[in-house]
A and B are shown apart, each in its own frame.
Chain A
């Protein structure tokens, strides 16, 4: 029983940052049909930027309260900058190429950014635990929670709601749904598809970097976190169905709980079990749980 509760809690914590990161990945795929491997680097960049900024903040002896704002601002700012630069500078020239080629383009960006990160921040771990510990822990029903994790969960849910609300209840979101449905017709109808792409990719990158920034206080920021997260975020988006917000939520919950259960019960099978779940889901629903099947070409 105790273990079951522990699994549920850990799973929920994984869910919160996996969801924020995967939301960006799935948004970019849904609108642009680009499986963005560089998303892992966006996450890593956010984590590094946040960790070093928070480190400097506390070294200067400033109050802890401001560091939370700093985390978010760092993540969003670096995500916006890099997302805008990659879309405008590179991807824009490649639209219309095969999906597989686009995967390779983002893979190349990923390789380049991995080394850029090492050049800028070195290979030593960055720790930014202060925002995490400053909030302390509370006990609910005899089980201890870190308050920071609870805030993270609230943030993830807020992000999910914001994404749903924007897509379904605002003018811009509706236009985006039109672009998702048919790129060519919507551009004929006068929608500025190129600008939609820039905005979408930038927002997606911001979500990835924000995920890294808010995760930074809970982890040790080392080279290789980008690869780790893309492997998980990829499984999340594919299980839920690439391009679906609800799918990303369910996928993040499934992956989060599976991973937590694996770590608590049989730590040997951690990554194995996530991909086994992904293979099983794909075997029965190739489009993912929330994806729509494509029409068959006759």
Chain B
């Protein structure tokens, strides 16, 4: 895939998909919206993984985004989708700056476990907070869009377009980021951290920036999911949710940021159909699909597209 191709590809995807969002059946629009929202989380995670930060706790920011949107909508009366996205991202940034300073001191499995622990703290707190509906969570009122208050179905389609533009825009920005000095330094840190320090770059600064990026995308994804489903519960912050993100990141491959979007939409589709057609064994179907991908496509789905590109497709 040529270098020039990526942004053009994303633009083309936007041009093709936006009109589709207006004609496709509502259930499919809903499904893809969820896929895009979660894909947004995975894009951020992929950028983190390129810098060696394999987070098993992205559910923290995903849940934080969703809950800050829900709280703002229910208790502050703020109901505008765009405003809620801004609030979610802001909460994500603040928390990530605070936690990131501590967390980026750790590497590999220690980083993974500590981030998981922190997300489980949020989960544990949410499960026991009866004011926030405990394990049941609570509902959100339908959002407005920059003052417009459309009916439910139109609202879903608008939300789809919003999610699509946000996801593709983020993919494009982060694609650029991975080629920026900070992004490239992230990959260098995985190879040899100490040499990066000798070169005069600050490892902790690079990792903190990367960590905050992951937090913002996860929070945005959380807000979108909250708006799309009109319901939030603590499972958003549970470790299985975070594990799913890591799985999709690996499934899609870390070679390209946009692969995560495709991967997540595929994963959501598999899960929805599995849930629809075998409600009692859907986990088995998903688990089997995971094993098949890991065994037969060790470098992720993107390796199907970019065969021959060599090392860049490797996780």
Contacts and interface: CB of A to CB of B under 8 A. Distances in A.
Interface of A: 35, 37, 90, 93-94, 97-101, 103-105, 107-112, 114-116, 118-119, 227, 231, 235, 238, 267-276, 278-279, 282-283, 286-287, 296-298
A161 B260 CA distance: 48
B125 A282 contact: no
A207 B18 CA distance: 54
A115 B124 contact: no
B298 A115 contact: no
A115 B120 contact: no
B117 A279 contact: yes
**Interface of chain B, main secondary structure:** helix
A108 B124 contact: no
Nearest to B125: A272
Interface in B274-315: 280-284, 286-288, 290-291, 294-295, 298, 315
Contacts of A283: 102, 114
B149 interface: no
Given A272-B125, A286-B106, A297-B192, A101 B283 contact: no
B194 A298 contact: yes
13 contacts: A94-B294, A98-B315, A100-B54, A107-B243, A108-B290, A111-B284, A111-B286, A111-B287, A267-B128, A272-B121, A272-B128, A279-B114, A279-B118
Contacts of B121: 272, 275-276, 279
A118 B280 contact: yes
B284 A116 contact: yes
Contact of A108 (B102, B114, B128, B288): B288
Given A99-B109, A114-B283, A275 B243 contact: no
Contact of A112 (B108, B240, B288, B295): B288
Interface string B101-133: 010001011101110011011011101110000
A168 to B, nearest CB: 26
Contacts of B247: 104, 107
The 10 closest A-B pairs by CB, nearest first: A272-B124, A111-B287, A271-B124, A115-B284, A108-B290, A112-B287, A268-B128, A275-B120, A108-B287, A286-B110
B250 interface: yes
B239 interface: yes
B257 interface: no
B239 A231 contact: yes
Contacts of B227: none
A270 B294 contact: no
B258 interface: no
B246 interface: yes
A69 to B, nearest CB: 33
A209 B274 CA distance: 29
A119 B281 contact: yes
A96 to B, nearest CB: 11
A32 B192 CA distance: 25
Nearest to A107: B243
B300 to A, nearest CB: 11
Contacts of A296: 194
A104 B250 CA distance: 9
Nearest to A237: B113
Interface string B163-198: 000000000000000000000000000001110000
Contact of B117 (A105, A114, A275): A275
Contacts of B113: 238, 282
Chain B interface bracket (under 10, 10 to 19, 20 to 34, 35 or more): 35 or more
Contacts of A107: 243, 247, 287, 290
Contact of A115 (B102, B110, B243, B281): B281
A90 B108 CA distance: 24
B117 A278 contact: yes
Nearest to A104: B247
A282 B287 contact: no
Given A269-B125, A275-B118, 11 more contacts: A98-B315, A100-B112, A103-B246, A115-B281, A115-B282, A115-B283, A267-B128, A269-B128, A279-B121, A282-B113, A298-B194
A270 B54 CA distance: 27
A39 to B, nearest CB: 14
Nearest to A239: B117
Most chain B beta-carbon neighbours within 10 Å: one of A116, A269, A282: A282
B294 A101 contact: yes
Nearest to B110: A286
Interface string B46-81: 000000001010000000000000000000000000
A88 to B, nearest CB: 15
B46 to A, nearest CB: 13
Nearest to B289: A108
Contacts of A270: 124, 128
A119 B108 CA distance: 37
Nearest to A279: B117
B243 A271 contact: no
Given A231-B120, A279-B114, A282-B110, A105 B194 contact: no
B120 A119 contact: no
A44 B158 CA distance: 44
Contacts of A98: 315
A35 B243 CA distance: 13
Contacts of B102: 283
Contact of B124 (A90, A109, A274): A274
Interface core residue of A109, A119, A272 (most chain B CB under 10 Å): A272
Nearest to B280: A118
B288 A104 contact: no
